[in-house]
Amino acid sequence: MKTKKLKVPTIAAIAATRGMLGLGAGLLLSGRLPKERRRWVGWTLLGVGVASTIPLAALVLRRG
């Protein structure tokens, strides 16, 4: 089986995307911040995480 190597910046971008998704989902489910601020920040992080996943996934899939 042939494996392709990913460069460190690509791996870091994938990790950051996963972090944004997790943090956004966590904020939406938690009760630590006031409701309005929590929802705004949570949905923003979740949206940015999802939006950045699409080009990264395409990059990784093209390499494979």
In this prediction, residues 2-7 reach a mean pLDDT of 75
Burial (0-12, 13-18, 19+ Cβ within 10 Å), 52: middle
Rounded CA-CA distance 56/6 in Å is: 11
In a domain, 3, yes or no: no
In a domain, 12, yes or no: no
In a domain, 2, yes or no: no
Q: What's the pTM value of the predicted model, to 2 decimals?
A: 0.69
Whether 1 has a pLDDT exceeding 60, the answer reads: no
Structure token pair of residue 14: 């994938």
Q: Domain count of the chain?
A: 1
Instruction: Report which of residues 2 and 34 the model is more confident about.
Output: 34
Question: Could you tell me the sign of the dihedral formed by the alpha carbons of 9, 56, 4, 22, in that order?
Answer: positive
Q: What is the mean pLDDT of the chain?
A: 84
Task: Return the pLDDT at 64.
Answer: 58
Element (H, E) at 42: helix 35-63
Residue ranges making up the domain that contains 58: 18-63
In this prediction, residues 18-47 reach a mean pLDDT of 86
